[in-house]
Chains A and B, each alone.
Chain A
Protein backbone atom coordinates (compact mmCIF):
# COMPACT_ATOMS: atom_id res chain seq x y z
CA UNK A 1 0.00 0.00 0.00
CA UNK A 2 2.83 2.32 0.92
CA UNK A 3 4.62 1.73 -2.35
CA UNK A 4 1.38 2.30 -4.26
CA UNK A 5 0.85 5.65 -2.53
CA UNK A 6 4.49 6.56 -3.15
CA UNK A 7 4.14 5.69 -6.83
CA UNK A 8 0.99 7.77 -7.10
CA UNK A 9 2.66 10.71 -5.39
CA UNK A 10 5.68 10.50 -7.68
CA UNK A 11 3.42 10.20 -10.74
CA UNK A 12 1.35 13.25 -9.71
CA UNK A 13 4.53 15.23 -9.06
CA UNK A 14 5.92 14.28 -12.46
CA UNK A 15 2.65 15.18 -14.23
CA UNK A 16 2.27 18.50 -12.43
CA UNK A 17 5.82 19.64 -13.07
CA UNK A 18 6.40 18.29 -16.59
CA UNK A 19 4.82 21.20 -18.56
CA UNK A 20 6.53 23.78 -16.39
CA UNK A 21 9.86 22.10 -16.93
CA UNK A 22 9.27 21.91 -20.65
CA UNK A 23 8.46 25.63 -20.79
CA UNK A 24 11.28 26.58 -18.47
CA UNK A 25 13.66 24.77 -20.81
CA UNK A 26 13.03 27.39 -23.51
CA UNK A 27 15.79 30.00 -23.45
CA UNK A 28 14.52 33.37 -22.24
CA UNK A 29 15.37 36.46 -24.25
CA UNK A 30 17.46 39.19 -22.64
CA UNK A 31 19.16 42.36 -23.78
CA UNK A 32 22.88 41.78 -24.25
CA UNK A 33 22.42 38.06 -24.87
CA UNK A 34 21.92 36.13 -28.10
CA UNK A 35 18.32 35.90 -29.29
CA UNK A 36 16.87 32.39 -28.78
CA UNK A 37 17.64 30.15 -31.72
CA UNK A 38 14.00 29.43 -32.48
CA UNK A 39 12.40 28.31 -35.69
CA UNK A 40 9.25 30.30 -36.32
CA UNK A 41 6.12 29.12 -38.12
CA UNK A 42 5.26 31.69 -40.77
CA UNK A 43 1.94 32.46 -42.40
CA UNK A 44 1.59 30.30 -45.49
CA UNK A 45 3.36 27.35 -43.87
CA UNK A 46 7.03 28.30 -44.34
CA UNK A 47 9.51 28.31 -41.48
CA UNK A 48 12.14 30.81 -40.47
CA UNK A 49 15.05 30.05 -38.21
CA UNK A 50 16.67 32.78 -36.16
CA UNK A 51 20.03 31.60 -37.53
CA UNK A 52 19.01 32.45 -41.09
CA UNK A 53 18.75 36.11 -40.07
CA UNK A 54 22.43 36.30 -39.11
CA UNK A 55 24.16 39.07 -40.99
CA UNK A 56 21.12 41.32 -40.81
CA UNK A 57 19.93 43.70 -38.14
CA UNK A 58 16.33 42.86 -37.42
CA UNK A 59 13.26 43.67 -35.39
CA UNK A 60 11.81 40.72 -33.47
CA UNK A 61 8.30 41.78 -32.56
CA UNK A 62 5.79 39.87 -30.43
CA UNK A 63 2.24 41.16 -30.69
CA UNK A 64 -1.44 40.42 -30.19
CA UNK A 65 -3.74 41.06 -33.14
CA UNK A 66 -6.27 42.95 -30.98
CA UNK A 67 -3.57 45.35 -29.76
CA UNK A 68 -4.21 48.84 -31.21
CA UNK A 69 -0.59 50.01 -30.90
CA UNK A 70 0.52 46.91 -32.82
CA UNK A 71 -1.68 47.66 -35.81
CA UNK A 72 -0.61 51.32 -35.72
CA UNK A 73 3.00 50.24 -35.34
CA UNK A 74 2.81 47.94 -38.35
CA UNK A 75 1.44 50.74 -40.48
CA UNK A 76 4.12 53.12 -39.18
CA UNK A 77 6.82 50.62 -40.16
CA UNK A 78 5.18 50.15 -43.56
CA UNK A 79 5.49 53.89 -44.16
CA UNK A 80 9.27 53.50 -43.79
CA UNK A 81 9.56 50.09 -45.44
CA UNK A 82 11.62 51.34 -48.39
CA UNK A 83 14.20 52.96 -46.13
CA UNK A 84 14.40 49.85 -43.95
CA UNK A 85 14.78 47.61 -47.00
CA UNK A 86 17.64 49.74 -48.35
CA UNK A 87 19.39 49.41 -44.99
CA UNK A 88 19.07 45.61 -45.18
CA UNK A 89 16.91 45.66 -42.07
CA UNK A 90 14.52 42.76 -41.47
CA UNK A 91 11.30 42.60 -39.49
CA UNK A 92 9.89 39.47 -37.89
CA UNK A 93 6.38 40.08 -36.64
CA UNK A 94 4.99 37.25 -34.53
CA UNK A 95 1.57 36.73 -32.99
CA UNK A 96 1.80 35.61 -29.35
CA UNK A 97 0.45 32.13 -28.64
CA UNK A 98 -3.33 32.11 -28.40
CA UNK A 99 -3.37 35.87 -29.04
CA UNK A 100 -2.77 36.21 -25.26
CA UNK A 101 -6.23 34.88 -24.46
CA UNK A 102 -8.35 37.57 -26.07
CA UNK A 103 -9.98 37.29 -29.51
CA UNK A 104 -8.77 39.54 -32.29
CA UNK A 105 -8.64 39.71 -36.09
CA UNK A 106 -6.43 37.27 -37.98
CA UNK A 107 -2.76 38.11 -38.40
CA UNK A 108 -3.22 37.56 -42.12
CA UNK A 109 -5.85 40.31 -42.30
CA UNK A 110 -3.46 42.75 -40.64
CA UNK A 111 -0.65 41.78 -43.00
CA UNK A 112 -2.99 42.20 -45.97
CA UNK A 113 -4.02 45.65 -44.76
CA UNK A 114 -0.35 46.70 -44.90
CA UNK A 115 0.01 45.71 -48.54
CA UNK A 116 2.81 44.41 -50.72
CA UNK A 117 5.65 45.75 -48.57
CA UNK A 118 4.71 43.31 -45.79
CA UNK A 119 6.44 40.39 -47.49
CA UNK A 120 9.68 38.38 -47.23
CA UNK A 121 12.60 38.75 -47.29
CA UNK A 122 12.19 42.08 -45.52
CA UNK A 123 9.13 41.38 -43.43
CA UNK A 124 8.13 38.00 -42.01
CA UNK A 125 4.80 37.24 -40.35
CA UNK A 126 4.22 34.22 -38.17
CA UNK A 127 2.85 32.76 -34.94
CA UNK A 128 4.61 31.66 -31.78
CA UNK A 129 4.25 28.39 -29.93
CA UNK A 130 3.49 28.50 -26.21
CA UNK A 131 7.13 27.90 -25.29
CA UNK A 132 8.38 30.55 -27.72
CA UNK A 133 5.79 33.01 -26.47
CA UNK A 134 6.83 32.46 -22.88
CA UNK A 135 10.50 32.91 -23.74
CA UNK A 136 10.05 36.04 -25.87
CA UNK A 137 7.22 37.61 -23.92
CA UNK A 138 7.33 36.38 -20.32
CA UNK A 139 5.16 39.29 -19.11
CA UNK A 140 2.45 38.52 -21.73
CA UNK A 141 2.64 42.10 -22.99
CA UNK A 142 0.70 42.46 -26.25
CA UNK A 143 3.34 44.67 -27.84
CA UNK A 144 7.03 44.05 -27.21
CA UNK A 145 9.91 44.17 -29.65
CA UNK A 146 13.62 43.48 -29.62
CA UNK A 147 16.32 44.92 -31.81
CA UNK A 148 18.76 42.21 -32.79
CA UNK A 149 22.16 42.91 -34.30
CA UNK A 150 23.98 41.17 -37.19
CA UNK A 151 25.47 38.63 -34.79
CA UNK A 152 22.10 37.62 -33.39
CA UNK A 153 22.56 39.51 -30.14
CA UNK A 154 19.66 41.43 -28.60
CA UNK A 155 20.60 45.08 -28.35
CA UNK A 156 17.40 46.69 -27.07
CA UNK A 157 13.88 45.97 -25.90
CA UNK A 158 10.93 48.28 -26.30
CA UNK A 159 7.30 48.43 -27.39
CA UNK A 160 5.02 50.33 -29.74
CA UNK A 161 7.05 50.89 -32.95
CA UNK A 162 5.05 54.00 -33.86
CA UNK A 163 6.06 55.68 -30.60
CA UNK A 164 9.65 54.43 -30.84
CA UNK A 165 10.31 54.83 -34.53
CA UNK A 166 13.35 57.01 -33.89
CA UNK A 167 14.98 54.19 -31.92
CA UNK A 168 14.23 51.64 -34.64
CA UNK A 169 15.40 53.96 -37.39
CA UNK A 170 18.69 54.66 -35.62
CA UNK A 171 19.33 50.96 -35.05
CA UNK A 172 18.46 50.05 -38.64
CA UNK A 173 20.91 52.68 -39.87
CA UNK A 174 23.64 51.25 -37.69
CA UNK A 175 23.76 54.21 -35.30
Chain B
Protein backbone atom coordinates (compact mmCIF):
# COMPACT_ATOMS: atom_id res chain seq x y z
CA UNK B 1 0.00 0.00 0.00
CA UNK B 2 2.89 2.36 0.86
CA UNK B 3 4.46 1.51 -2.46
CA UNK B 4 1.35 2.70 -4.30
CA UNK B 5 0.89 5.78 -2.13
CA UNK B 6 4.51 6.80 -2.68
CA UNK B 7 4.16 6.29 -6.44
CA UNK B 8 1.00 8.41 -6.53
CA UNK B 9 2.68 11.21 -4.55
CA UNK B 10 5.77 11.11 -6.78
CA UNK B 11 3.58 11.21 -9.89
CA UNK B 12 1.48 14.19 -8.79
CA UNK B 13 4.49 16.11 -7.48
CA UNK B 14 6.47 15.56 -10.67
CA UNK B 15 3.61 16.26 -13.08
CA UNK B 16 0.77 17.87 -11.13
CA UNK B 17 -1.17 19.36 -14.04
CA UNK B 18 -0.97 16.56 -16.56
CA UNK B 19 -1.54 13.86 -13.91
CA UNK B 20 -4.58 15.66 -12.53
CA UNK B 21 -5.98 16.09 -16.04
CA UNK B 22 -5.35 12.47 -16.95
CA UNK B 23 -6.75 10.95 -13.78
CA UNK B 24 -9.49 13.53 -13.22
CA UNK B 25 -10.91 13.87 -16.71
CA UNK B 26 -9.73 10.61 -18.27
CA UNK B 27 -10.61 8.56 -15.20
CA UNK B 28 -14.05 10.13 -14.93
CA UNK B 29 -14.75 9.53 -18.62
CA UNK B 30 -13.61 5.91 -18.39
CA UNK B 31 -15.58 5.31 -15.16
CA UNK B 32 -18.66 6.80 -16.82
CA UNK B 33 -18.17 4.53 -19.84
CA UNK B 34 -18.06 1.47 -17.58
CA UNK B 35 -21.01 2.71 -15.53
CA UNK B 36 -23.03 2.39 -18.74
CA UNK B 37 -21.29 -0.70 -20.15
CA UNK B 38 -21.57 -2.91 -17.07
CA UNK B 39 -25.39 -2.79 -16.66
CA UNK B 40 -25.97 -2.58 -20.46
CA UNK B 41 -26.46 -6.32 -20.66
CA UNK B 42 -29.34 -6.25 -18.17
CA UNK B 43 -30.83 -3.10 -19.63
CA UNK B 44 -30.61 -4.44 -23.17
CA UNK B 45 -28.91 -1.46 -24.78
CA UNK B 46 -25.70 0.52 -24.53
CA UNK B 47 -27.41 3.78 -23.64
CA UNK B 48 -27.72 6.29 -20.81
CA UNK B 49 -30.83 4.49 -19.56
CA UNK B 50 -28.58 1.64 -18.42
CA UNK B 51 -27.39 3.87 -15.58
CA UNK B 52 -30.75 3.28 -13.86
CA UNK B 53 -29.81 -0.40 -13.54
CA UNK B 54 -26.30 0.15 -12.17
CA UNK B 55 -25.79 -1.89 -8.99
CA UNK B 56 -23.52 -0.71 -6.14
CA UNK B 57 -21.02 -3.46 -7.01
CA UNK B 58 -20.91 -2.36 -10.64
CA UNK B 59 -20.49 1.27 -9.60
CA UNK B 60 -17.49 0.33 -7.48
CA UNK B 61 -16.06 -1.75 -10.36
CA UNK B 62 -16.59 1.12 -12.84
CA UNK B 63 -14.78 3.56 -10.54
CA UNK B 64 -11.97 1.07 -9.84
CA UNK B 65 -11.40 0.31 -13.52
CA UNK B 66 -11.79 3.92 -14.70
CA UNK B 67 -9.59 5.66 -12.15
CA UNK B 68 -7.28 2.65 -11.63
CA UNK B 69 -6.48 2.48 -15.33
CA UNK B 70 -5.73 6.18 -15.73
CA UNK B 71 -3.76 6.26 -12.48
CA UNK B 72 -1.60 3.35 -13.70
CA UNK B 73 -1.02 5.22 -16.96
CA UNK B 74 -0.08 8.41 -15.10
CA UNK B 75 2.38 6.57 -12.87
CA UNK B 76 3.95 4.84 -15.86
CA UNK B 77 4.23 8.11 -17.77
CA UNK B 78 6.08 9.65 -14.85
CA UNK B 79 8.36 6.59 -14.58
CA UNK B 80 9.14 6.74 -18.28
CA UNK B 81 9.84 10.46 -18.02
CA UNK B 82 12.39 9.69 -15.32
CA UNK B 83 14.15 7.49 -17.82
CA UNK B 84 14.69 10.33 -20.20
CA UNK B 85 11.48 10.87 -22.16
CA UNK B 86 10.05 14.06 -20.71
CA UNK B 87 7.44 14.74 -23.34
CA UNK B 88 3.94 13.33 -23.14
CA UNK B 89 4.33 11.77 -26.53
CA UNK B 90 2.11 9.23 -28.19
CA UNK B 91 4.91 6.72 -27.75
CA UNK B 92 5.12 7.56 -24.07
CA UNK B 93 1.41 7.05 -23.61
CA UNK B 94 1.61 3.77 -25.48
CA UNK B 95 4.50 2.66 -23.32
CA UNK B 96 2.46 3.55 -20.27
CA UNK B 97 -0.39 1.41 -21.49
CA UNK B 98 1.95 -1.54 -21.86
CA UNK B 99 3.98 -1.31 -18.67
CA UNK B 100 5.66 -4.64 -18.26
CA UNK B 101 3.75 -7.70 -19.28
CA UNK B 102 0.86 -8.15 -21.64
CA UNK B 103 -1.31 -10.06 -19.19
CA UNK B 104 -1.51 -7.17 -16.74
CA UNK B 105 -1.88 -4.19 -18.99
CA UNK B 106 -4.80 -1.93 -18.43
CA UNK B 107 -6.06 -2.51 -21.94
CA UNK B 108 -6.86 -6.17 -21.57
CA UNK B 109 -8.93 -6.02 -18.37
CA UNK B 110 -10.84 -3.09 -19.79
CA UNK B 111 -11.60 -5.03 -22.93
CA UNK B 112 -12.56 -8.07 -20.89
CA UNK B 113 -14.98 -6.14 -18.72
CA UNK B 114 -16.57 -4.49 -21.72
CA UNK B 115 -16.70 -7.80 -23.55
CA UNK B 116 -18.12 -9.70 -20.63
CA UNK B 117 -20.76 -7.19 -19.74
CA UNK B 118 -21.91 -5.84 -23.05
CA UNK B 119 -20.75 -8.20 -25.78
CA UNK B 120 -24.24 -9.68 -26.14
CA UNK B 121 -25.68 -6.22 -26.64
CA UNK B 122 -22.97 -4.83 -28.88
CA UNK B 123 -22.06 -7.87 -30.91
CA UNK B 124 -25.54 -9.43 -31.07
CA UNK B 125 -24.09 -12.86 -30.48
CA UNK B 126 -26.73 -15.48 -29.91
CA UNK B 127 -27.63 -18.71 -28.18
CA UNK B 128 -24.89 -20.50 -26.34
CA UNK B 129 -22.36 -17.66 -26.72
CA UNK B 130 -24.71 -15.11 -25.23
CA UNK B 131 -25.68 -17.53 -22.48
CA UNK B 132 -22.02 -18.00 -21.63
CA UNK B 133 -21.35 -14.25 -21.49
CA UNK B 134 -24.47 -13.71 -19.40
CA UNK B 135 -23.53 -16.44 -16.94
CA UNK B 136 -19.93 -15.31 -16.47
CA UNK B 137 -20.19 -11.53 -16.87
CA UNK B 138 -19.56 -10.97 -13.15
CA UNK B 139 -16.43 -13.10 -13.35
CA UNK B 140 -15.19 -11.01 -16.30
CA UNK B 141 -15.71 -7.82 -14.34
CA UNK B 142 -14.07 -9.22 -11.19
CA UNK B 143 -11.07 -10.32 -13.23
CA UNK B 144 -10.87 -6.88 -14.83
CA UNK B 145 -10.79 -5.17 -11.44
CA UNK B 146 -8.10 -7.54 -10.17
CA UNK B 147 -6.05 -7.01 -13.31
CA UNK B 148 -6.27 -3.23 -12.96
CA UNK B 149 -5.08 -3.53 -9.36
CA UNK B 150 -2.20 -5.69 -10.59
CA UNK B 151 -1.40 -3.07 -13.25
CA UNK B 152 -1.35 -0.39 -10.55
CA UNK B 153 1.01 -2.43 -8.41
CA UNK B 154 3.33 -3.07 -11.37
CA UNK B 155 3.28 0.63 -12.23
CA UNK B 156 4.10 1.57 -8.62
CA UNK B 157 6.97 -0.91 -8.54
CA UNK B 158 8.23 0.40 -11.86
CA UNK B 159 8.06 3.95 -10.47
CA UNK B 160 10.10 2.94 -7.42
CA UNK B 161 12.74 1.29 -9.59
CA UNK B 162 12.90 4.38 -11.80
CA UNK B 163 13.68 6.46 -8.70
CA UNK B 164 16.29 4.03 -7.49
CA UNK B 165 18.26 4.17 -10.75
CA UNK B 166 17.81 7.88 -11.53
CA UNK B 167 21.06 9.81 -11.21
CA UNK B 168 21.14 13.56 -10.67
CA UNK B 169 22.62 15.59 -13.52
CA UNK B 170 26.26 16.55 -13.05
CA UNK B 171 27.07 13.80 -10.59
CA UNK B 172 29.35 10.87 -11.40
CA UNK B 173 28.02 7.36 -11.08
Which residues from chain A sit less than 8 Å from chain B, CB to CB? 64, 66-69, 71-73, 100-104, 139-143, 159-164
Contacts and interface: CB of A to CB of B under 8 A. Distances in A.
B49 interface: yes
Interface residues of B, number: 21
B16 interface: no
B47 interface: yes
Contact of A72 (B44, B47, B135): B44
A78 B126 CA distance: 26
B131 interface: yes
A100 B126 CA distance: 8
Given A66-B134, A67-B134, A68-B134, A102 B42 contact: no
9 contacts: A68-B134, A69-B121, A72-B53, A100-B126, A141-B126, A160-B43, A160-B44, A163-B49, A163-B50
Closest 9 CB pairs of A and B: A160-B44, A102-B131, A69-B44, A163-B45, A163-B44, A68-B42, A140-B126, A72-B42, A100-B127
Interface string B23-52: 000000000000000000111110101100
Given A67-B134, A142-B120, 16 more contacts: A68-B42, A68-B134, A69-B121, A72-B42, A72-B53, A100-B126, A100-B128, A102-B131, A102-B135, A103-B131, A160-B45, A161-B44, A163-B43, A163-B45, A163-B47, A163-B49
A78 to B, nearest CB: 15
Contacts of A164: 44-45
B130 interface: yes
Contact of B127 (A142, A143, A159): A142
Interface of B: 41-45, 47, 49-50, 53, 120-121, 124, 126-128, 130-132, 134-135, 137
A161 B42 CA distance: 11
Among the interface residues B43, B124, B128, which one has the most CB atoms of the partner chain A within 10 A?
B43
Nearest to B41: A68
A164 B28 CA distance: 28
A35 B120 CA distance: 27
B124 A69 contact: no
Contacts of B53: 72, 162
B52 to A, nearest CB: 9
Q: Which of A66, A68, A71, A103 has the most CB of B within 10 A?
A: A68
A153 B128 CA distance: 31
Nearest to B47: A163
